Amino acid sequence: IVSRANSPENMSIRLKSMMKRPTNPEKIVADLIRDNNLPFIYTGNGSVMIGNFNPDFLSKELNKIIEVNGNYWHNLPKIKEKDKRKVTYYNSKGYKTLVLWESDIKSNKEDCLNKIRDFTK
């Protein structure tokens, strides 16, 4: 189910992901995860593909994914639809997904940390 993105259909997605750097909200979440020893790794760089999708953070042992959504980009109608398909696909492969929004991450890091902690239970 989890691929290393070597299939031809995933190559363009993987290449795009590899060229992007973590966003500021992703960096904040990565710091929260690292500083609190939570069982997630950053995979938003294209290192892991699940189907045609590249999760932002993954915990293989818990079968859980964290997606970090930017307020502008992920509110566009086309992207909203893609995000719904992504979460549905992850669910169909046995993953649970926590979606964190940029505005929530920036306004209340402690609340986001608590959501991640609760999600690991």
The whole-number average pLDDT for the span 83-96 is 97
Using CA atoms, how far apart are residues 14 and 7, in angstroms rounded to an integer? 10
Mean pLDDT score across all residues of the chain: 89
- pLDDT at 28 exceeding the cut of 90: yes
- pLDDT at 29 exceeding the cut of 90: yes
Cα 31 versus chain centre, distance? 14
What's the whole-model pTM score? 0.85
Residue type, 51: G
The whole-number average pLDDT for the span 63-82 is 95
User: What's residue 87's pLDDT?
Assistant: 97
Tell me the two tokens of residue 7: 């299939």
- pLDDT at 15 exceeding the cut of 90: no
Is the CB of residue 83 less than 8 Å from the CB of residue 67? yes
